[in-house]
Structure 1
Amino acid sequence: MIRKLIGVFAVAIAVGPTAAQSPAPPTISPAVAPAAPIPIDHFASLPFLTAPELSPDGTRIAARIAIAGQLRLAIVPLGDVKKMVMLGMGDNDLNDWEWVNNDWLIANIGATEKVEGDDWYLTRTAAVSADGKKISILGARTAAQNAGNVLWMARDGSPHILLAMQTSVYSNDPGFWPEVRDFDVSTGKSVRVVPSTDKVSSWFTDGAGMVRMGVAYNDDNRSYRLLYRDNPTKSFRTVSKARGRGASLGSLPAMFLPESGKALAFDDDDGFNALYAFDLATLKTGEKMFGKPGYDIGGIIPDATGTRIIGVQYTDTRARTHWFDPALAKIQADIDKAVGARHAQITSWSSDFSVLIVKVAGADRPGAYYVYRPDDGRLRILAKVNEALGTDAQSPVSTIKYKARDGLEISAILTVPKGKAAKDLPFILMPHGGPFARDDESWDWWAQFLASRGYAVLQPNYRGSSGYGTTFAEKGQGQWGLAMQDDLVDAVKWATGSGLADAKRICIVGGSYGGYAAFRAAQRDTGLYRCAVSYAGVSDLSAMLRYDSRFLNSGARGDWMRQQAPDLKNVSPINHAAEFSVPMLIMHGKVDRVVPVKQSREMVEKLKAAGKPYRYVEQPLGDHHFSRQADRAQFLTELEAFLKQYNPA
């Protein structure tokens, strides 16, 4: 299996025309000869390689790899797979990893622990040597709940990072508010550079590693303070305040520039998140640097010094990068031309850009990672994401748009079974999780599996989904299970009205918030669906808010929940088990740290008491993110059997 990792041959990338996007479903996808269904295990395979990160000198990669159905952190010298080092993280989640210099990297890990009888999710930062021989948890003796927020890493090759960390779990202790420490990752030693400051939960640094700004929030009176300094010898001063419901400090710097008083910031003055010049003296935005009409900008890409911007990321129908650097823009254009209709993303690079990692994939194929060296212009294969499926196209995917009942235009991702006419198909509505998220034209193993079994799959980006601007997001406030659910009903009506879906063969399938939507549909939308499937779904919004208040009660999410608060009971399916009208498949991982398993367990008890049909499967080692291949395969097996019984293709 290790041989999958490093290829030694150059891959000839065929040049082809870019696939045209259609606003409506295709009349027919390319015909293929009848064949046996692709085995479940092919779709359930864990991605063999995830997010490979190049070391600054371009000689090693660090990535998450799948071995024997389990995920590990791997450090691999390019071209010498025999020296690969694989590291397990025990029962911890491996959330992220990044190189500090050529000899050290850091990994963000997390785990659920009991704190005075309650489950708390703790984050930590681990320092890992490039040879894998040394691993240490930074600040292990003093860290409290959150110690995984890396604010800055040295860019000069030294092993230093700035880490914001809590030292107490009690909100009345000063240590509840994160302090900032300078860690030498090679020794684990640190010095405090900014002490805990009352109510300040977020700190911001410039490219040189100076902590420049902090944001304080007082939940008692819903007030904000913005703290700022321009010199490390100075004290922080309050430069802006805001108070009350819907209050905001306005734009905050996304990058501090070397020029005195200058920065870059995101702002949504025109309704969509865009990048602007920012004056630190006036806290006002200036010239718009980049915006994408109709979509929000997602993030910036700094240069090797951390003081200049070389690109911005955004998602329209799929994830894209706009490069400001002319050389990188040309590289992107050359690769795009070479891969044709497939999607090419430059995902990692050495500090001098002499070595790049490129992912070539598509909504219809999991794709592969390649090594690209601009000096020879060749893409050399690193690893296929899914060895079983390879790089061949599966079912075609497109973006459609439909109107909700109030006239709001909604985008949705449509997958049509390969080789079948887009007419009168058995149909699966699949709302995304979050709900502060969105779907796009990228590989989705649920959707592609369902399409391989003959189902058309529609994934609506209902109101409140991210990436479509401020107004679209705000339309989701207070609408869990209400207008957000109406958008799903209207998606079904579009599918049946356009002739795509057979109105008598419709099921709703979802995970996390999508699982909540499946519960709610089974309870609310009688006569529309034949069945419903929830994986890790939320059934009790009040209980979920108590469990995850730090996430659900923060910022815009808090506005959503506060506006929803008077109606939480009414829109929580657990309170309406007697109203469920269709059979349900309910599945949940026992070690889910995002949505606790009791959300499904208690829903099942209510359905049982009400005499409603359901099948409940609990995965003893399952988590929220399908980190185990066995759990993926079991889910797809149960899903296929359930659909054959209640919504056959």
Structure 2
Amino acid sequence: MIRRSHQALTTALLLTLSAFAQAAPPPAASFFNDPDIAEAVLSPSGKRLAITSAKGAARVGLVVMDLAPGGPLKRVVGSQSSDVVQVRWANEERLLFSLTDLGEASGSHHRAPGLFAVNVDGSRMRMLVRQTHNFINTDSSHTDSLSWNHRLLLVPELRPGEANDRVLLAETGGIGGIYAENPVWLNVNTGATHAYATTAPASSYRWVVNRQGKAWATLTVRNDRVQAHWLPPNQTGWVQLYDTTVIDQPFTIEGVGDDGTLYVSHVPPGAAQRVLARYDPQTRAPSTTPLVRAPGFDFSGHLLSEGGVLLGVRTLVDSHTTVWLDERMKKFQAQVDRLLAGKLNHIDCRRCGQPDMVALVHSYSDRDPGKLWLYQARPGDGESRWRAIGRLREDIDPATMASLDLQSIQARDGRELPVWITRPEGATGPLPAVVLVHGGPWVRGVVWQWNAWAQFLASRGYVVIEPEFRGSDGYGEAHFRAGFKQWGQAMQDDVTDTLKWAQQQGLASDRACIVGASYGGYAALMGLARDPELYRCGIASLAISDLALMTNGSWWVTDDGAVARRLTLPELVGDPVKDAAMLAANSPVKLAERMKAPLLLAYGELDQRVPLAHGTRMRDALIAAGRPPEWVSYPGEGHGWSKPAHRLDFARRVETFLARHLAPPPQNSGPAPGTTAPAR
């Protein structure tokens, strides 16, 4: 991976001054405050840029930049009580956005942020979809706005010479906990709606539409099974592609072309990883010739098209990358990569590859959250123009950040395990270690980019070890399925093996703490119970502690797990009846007597994913065992800390806790990691 060497200092005085300057790491706020630029979206013509930012204001607002030379910049939406999110262009003159309160705790957030429209000059503000609370004044009461259970599904792509004043929404509803959606067209100027004409199967929960909003495929759930349907080109009847369980779907529909061509991801026979391919209507299966393959990684990404032409595919390997199918864009990508060398450069373009192309480039690395650059081709005078738009996080100095590397090790049973290592630049010898376990657990844990928690911990002097244990997504079907019913067992062995490997490699010392949230919090608890000799401390937030409560549910504990308990948890975690003994044996709440190391427990009081009962049961069990934990619960928070004060409070608690328990032996001179100049 990319590394930068520190600039050599030339005098003893400068060395001394530098030591004092570097003693205090960046404050927690630098890592956990909202970014300076949250969203940046080019208009359909590429003549304007919409940005969401709180710079110079108390709240995140919407700013529109005229990209002509000397063009003005105007703040078109601003509020004292709400923040702008989810910005889209309806057409060249009108923008869509939603509103939320980023200062609220997550459990207090209204789940439907509404939908609003506004002109680029700030006029004709209109509420299109209602919220529970009105955050902003519009140009009329708009009592005809749609109910909160509508979400934006698609903004049609503008065709040359055409105007667009409508968007496609999905009205959501549910039966038996399974959500279905009904599409409806909405006029962004008047708020008027008209029906979406389709013969697609009823009760579909996902609609696969082309850039003009025509439905070509849907997914439905009936009798706890998933059915996929497709409308083949030049036909009027829908065809069922499969009918199977949620876990055993033979392929995933990734997108559709204007002509109805389906693009799907699947694991070919005899292959290890998921690839992208076209669906073959003749064989009624994915094509045997992949469109995109990423050896070592499952395909995960989306199609890039313009004007009905597939230009490329954005996918995820160790980092996000773009596979351009268009030769002109291949050449432009190479040009950008030469100009912005040493960075990953993601291109969002209008009139892509054309002589008058406009492109927005996000240039970033593992040590740099990134900077936005604008490219404007100028065919008239034969010159092109680059200009800097701004940095995403101005408080972060990339030169002081740590490097991120992906390693591959062998678990005790021979399974290959991907492991991410974040290590402070210039560090030598074994460092005190934080084993940071991702949540999910059926997700990809880490991507090669700047990651706030890993960088925060590395800035305090720790080596951060993040295993992609079995059950993690993105590394092949076998790796994913190897985690079935392995909570606290082989999945936990993988975490243990990762730390032991890092110690054997001289990366980590014998001073280690295990940390995680959600499933990662569960793994932190199990690590302390199963391997008490390995860890000097643990930090578990939002942690599952009782597998019986998770898989059975309870009439007096409210959560959002009813559908998962019916469709996936019996196979992924365990059947609450048939596997009751296994679940009990791997429930941290039953293993409190084994936990000897200091523990910090943190929960959200309104969490519906992992209810507070998991935390109080774990806390009470540890108190009964004579090992009371440090405890904090955040009022109003759900499954994560969104209130800035809570984010910073938790980060500082983590910093203090780790410094206390991973401090070097007394004979070691110098300050303990994280003990100097704590953020306040």
Residue in 2 aligned with 1:373?
A: 376
Three-state SS of the structure 1 residue aligned to 2:255 is: strand
Q: Determine if contact 2:515/2:540 at 8 Å carries over to the other structure.
A: yes
Following superposition of structure 1 onto structure 2, how do residues 408-557 of structure 1 map, counting pairs within 5 Å? 408-421=415-428, 423-435=429-441, 436-503=443-510, 505-544=511-550, 547-549=559-561, 552=564
When residues 48 and 408 of structure 1 are mapped into structure 2, their CA distance, relative to the original with a 3 A threshold, is same
RMSD between superposed Cα atoms in Å? 3.7
Q: Contact 1:364/1:394 (CA < 8 Å) preserved in 2? A: yes
Deviates more, 1:588-597 or 1:610-619: 588-597
Where do 1:272-351 residues align within 5 Å?
Answer: 272-280=273-281, 282-286=283-287, 287-305=289-307, 307-347=308-348, 349=350
Structure 1's unaligned 5+ residue stretches are 1-17, 22-27, 113-117
Corresponding residue number in structure 2 for 1:266: 265
Q: Which has the higher contact order (CA 8 A, sep 6+)?
A: 1
388-397 or 101-110, which deviates more: 101-110
Q: Residues 528, 71 of structure 1: CA spacing in aligned structure 2 closer, same or farther, 3 A cutoff?
A: farther
Offset, 1:336: 1.3
Q: Which moved more, 1:632-641 or 1:534-543?
A: 534-543
2:499 aligns to what SS in structure 1?
A: helix
Counterpart of 1:630 (choices 636, 645, 666) is 645
2: distance between equivalents of 1:197 and 1:89?
44
Q: Following TM superposition, by how much is the alpha carbon of 1:57 offset from its aligned partner in structure 2, in angstroms?
A: 1.9
Q: Which residue of 2 aligns with 1:397?
A: 404
Q: TM-score, normalised on structure 1?
A: 0.83
Structure 1 residues 335-379: Cα deviation after superposition (integer angstroms, max 9, x where no partner)? 212222222222465777732221222112222222222445554
Structure 1 CA distance for aligned equivalents of residues 295 and 80 of structure 2: 42
Structure-2 change in CA distance of 1:122 and 1:99 (3 Å): same
- For 1:596 and 1:579, the matched residues in 2 are separated by 24
CA deviation string 1:466-523 (max 9, x = no partner): 22121211112222222111111000110111122111x1001222322222122223
1:313/1:154 Cα in 2 relative to 1: closer, same or farther (>3 Å)? closer
SS at match of 2:437: coil
Partner SS for 2:450:
coil
Instruction: Please tell me whether the aligned partners of residues 401 and 410 of structure 1 are also in contact (alpha carbons under 8 angstroms).
Output: yes
**1:404: Cα distance to partner?**
0.8
Q: What is the distance in 1 between the residues matched to 2:99 and 2:316?
A: 27
**How is 1:107-122 mapped onto 2 (pairs within 5 angstroms)?**
107=97, 122=111
Task: For residue 155 of structure 1, report the CA deviation from its aligned partner.
Answer: 2.9
Say if 1:230 and 1:420 are closer, same or farther in 2 by CA, change over 3 A.
closer
Of the three residues 11, 26, 40, the one matched with 1:39 is 26
1:127 aligns with 2:116: yes
Report the Cα distance in structure 2 between the residues aligned to 1:380 and 1:557, rounded to whole angstroms.
50
Distance 1:520 1:147, change over 3 A: farther
The match for 1:355 is 358
Once the two structures are superposed, what CA deviation does each residue of 1:62-111 show, in whole Å capped at 9, x if it has no partner?
3442458976252322466751234459679x773322322334446789
Match of 1:611 in 2: 626
Task: Find 1:200's aligned residue among 201, 204, 207.
Answer: 204
Distance of aligned partners of 1:217 and 1:74 in 2 relative to their CA distance in 1, 3 Å threshold: same
Count of residues in Structure 1 that have an aligned counterpart in Structure 2: 609
The 1:590/1:188 distance shift into structure 2, 3 A limit, reads farther
User: What is the CA-CA distance between 1:463 and the residue it aligns to?
Assistant: 1.4
Q: 1:138 to 1:86 in 2, by over 3 A?
A: closer
Give yes or no for contact 2:403–2:423 (8 Å, CA) kept in 1: yes
Identity of aligned residues (%): 25
Q: Distance in 1 between matches of 2:433 and 2:117?
A: 47
Q: Of the candidates 34, 47, 53, which is equivalent to residue 59 of structure 1?
A: 47
Aligned-residue offset at 1:180: 1.5
Tell whether 2:171 aligns with 1:171.
Answer: no
Q: Report the AA paired with residue 216 of structure 1.
A: T
1:297 and 1:152 map into 2 onto residues whose CA distance is 26
Structure 2 residues without counterparts, runs of 5 or longer: 10-17, 132-143, 554-558, 664-672, 674-680
Q: Distance in 2 between matches of 1:357 and 1:176?
A: 36
- 1:371 is paired with a residue of what secondary structure? strand
In the TM superposition, 1:566-645 aligns within 5 A as: 566=579, 567-590=582-605, 595-620=610-635, 622=637, 624=639, 626-645=641-660
* Counterpart AA for 2:375: Y
Distance across 1 between alignment mates of 2:62 and 2:638: 21
Measured against aligned partners, the alpha-carbon deviations of 1:177-228 in whole angstroms (never above 9, x if no partner) come to: 3212112222222222248955532222233322222222223xx4443333
SS in 1 for 2:60: strand
Q: Which residue of 1 aligns with 2:138?
A: none
Q: Which moved further from structure 2: 411-420 or 76-85?
A: 76-85
Partner SS state of residue 366, structure 1: coil
Q: C-alpha separation between the residues in 2 aligned to 1:612 and 1:590?
A: 23
In structure 2, the CA distance between the partners of 1:608 and 1:58, relative to structure 1 (3 Å rule), is farther
* 1:560 corresponds to: 572
Contact 1:223/1:241, CA 8 A, preserved across alignment: no
Larger radius of gyration: 2
Higher deviation after alignment, 621-630 or 52-61: 621-630
* Distance in 2 (alpha carbons) for counterparts of 1:372 and 1:557: 48
Q: Look up the SS of the partner of 1:186 in the other structure.
A: coil
